[in-house]
Amino acid sequence: MSTPTETMALKINDAASGSGQSTELRPFGTAAPSDTDLQDLQQRLLVAVNNVRVTGTPEQNQMLDYLLNQAHNQTADLVSGDTNSSPVHHILSNVKSLLMHAQVMPTSTGGVAVSSVSDEGDLVGKNPYESLDVRWTESAVCWLEHFSPQTKADFRTAPRTTAMGGDVSIAVAGDWGTGFDYRTDGVPTPAEKVANQIRALAPTYTVHLGDVYYAGTGVEEQRNFIGKWPPGAGGSFTLNSNHEMYSGAQGYYSVLDGDGDFAAQNRNSYFALTNADWLVIGLDTAYHADEIHLYQHGFLDPDQCAFVDDLIATNPTAKRAILLTHHNGLSVDGMTPSALWGQVAPRFAGLELWWYWGHMHAGIVYSDRGTRAQMQPNSIGGGIIHARCAGHGAVPAGEPNSLVANPSAVWHENRTVADLLYPGRVYNGLVALTLNGADLTEEFIDEEGAKVYARTFLAK
């Protein structure tokens, strides 16, 4: 009798001998996937996994097996009612079940998982963008299909630095690319509401912190992002992310190549805006992240590090900076700095830095952190990092338990919306930044237009 692992290996070999690789996501739309859809997903997964088996290193294949088993076990526990067991990588939650049986994970009673909120703030259920949504599996398929370097768009290293005026407004939202048409109840989506709030602000610039779902393909960029993201009067910018990397950043770069709203970005995935008082820098933390870990952990390559270093060296009058990235510098609870924090903090150690990231689907204002310990010996002064998460742009999510009564978080969005389709969902929103000379006012604004957190930082 074959073991489950042996059975899966036989299926992979059979599929590899009779099917070609698919390179374009075929969305289900708003309807639940049929048996035919699931069988198609199974075949694409089998072929894609086989390609990784052939082209990946032994270490990568070992890690792939570990991740698939981990996600399968965590999902099985989650649908049985253990809210501590939210899958670390939810795009993998149904992969092993699909590979083996062309089925999604059932609950312990064989029914559909009811919506609830996990300890991490994930909405547990099978609606679009909940943690057990089978459409996340298409992200996994694309990730595996674009695992080889030959399937990725080339990284570009000609960023543009743009001079900006002394009085500037910037609207920022992360993880916004859900589209407007996934709800089945006719209620406007959070993405549409947030877009309307940004338009009402009429900002100088708008910045998307990345993530167009489910895998940032060309089709999804057109359906969920292009023509929907609100442009700024002076231009718009969009950052690369883990979800865009699942399709090799092909769809992402097609946006930069083809949409005039992002012309200021010069077709590159990182950029800067400068004036006498401020550096505003957007970086690509996804392209060079480790693919076997699903691009979850942000990383900066030497070219971008040199770009930042040069900006700081050649703009000595600017004592304040805003950094925009997709990936987070701190864990959701604010307790643990990431490897990306280790790359960023020393570079900005002499400045006062406001760092806005997405990736985590939450709105959070963390307590300030000093960077004196990050500075080189004999350096004068010391900087401060004002860390913020603005990943609550559109994805339905709940309140993470780790933020409740947490002194590391000065404020976080914890107000629930009366949403029958997504019970437990907290408000989505954006961040509005106003630069007036060297002064900064930041405002977290929810999807209905309410200002829920605001602070002004005057120049010293």
Global pTM exceeds 0.85: yes
- Residue 53 tokens, joined: 């088996």
Long-range contacts of 434-439 (CB under 8 A, 24+ apart): 434/168, 434/169, 435/166, 435/167, 435/168, 435/169, 435/170, 435/275, 435/277, 435/278, 436/166, 436/167, 437/166, 437/167, 437/277, 438/277, 438/278, 438/319, 438/320
| Contact status, residue 168 vs residue 205, Cβ threshold 8 Å | yes
| 151 pLDDT higher than 50 | yes
Q: What is the pLDDT of residue 379?
A: 41
How confident is residue 109, by pLDDT bands cut at 50, 70 and 90?
A: very low
Whole-angstrom distance, CA of residue 265 vs CA of residue 295: 23
pLDDT tops 50 at residue 10 = no
Could you read off the pLDDT of 211-224 as tens digits, one per residue? Answer: 999 999 999 999 99
Cβ distance 163 to 349 under 8 Å?
A: no
What is the structure's pLDDT at 86? 66
Tell me the per-residue pLDDT of 297-351, one tens digit each, with 9 for 90 and over.
Answer: 999 999 999 999 999 999 998 899 999 999 999 999 999 999 999 999 999 998 9
- Single out the residue of 104, 74, 72 nearest to residue 86, CA to CA: 74
Are the C-beta atoms of residues 355 and 344 closer than 8 Å to each other?
yes
Compute the distance between CA of residue 51 and CA of residue 217 in angstroms, rounded to an integer.
20
pLDDT at 375 over 60: no
DSSP designation for 314: H
* Integer Rg of the chain from CA: 22
Report which DSSP code applies to 174: -
Residue 138, pLDDT score: 86
Domains in the chain with CATH codes: 4-150 (no CATH), 155-457 (3.60.21.10)
| Cα distance between residue 452 and residue 300, in whole Å | 32
277 band by pLDDT with thresholds 50, 70 and 90 = very high
- Return d(Cα 254, Cα 273) in angstroms, integer: 23
Q: Which residues, including other chains, have CB under 8 Å from residue 58's CB and lie 6 or more apart?
A: none
Q: Are strands 278-282 and 320-325 parallel, antiparallel or unpaired?
A: parallel
Segment 50-55 shows an average pLDDT of 91
* Of residues 372, 410, 447, the one with CA closest to residue 196: 447
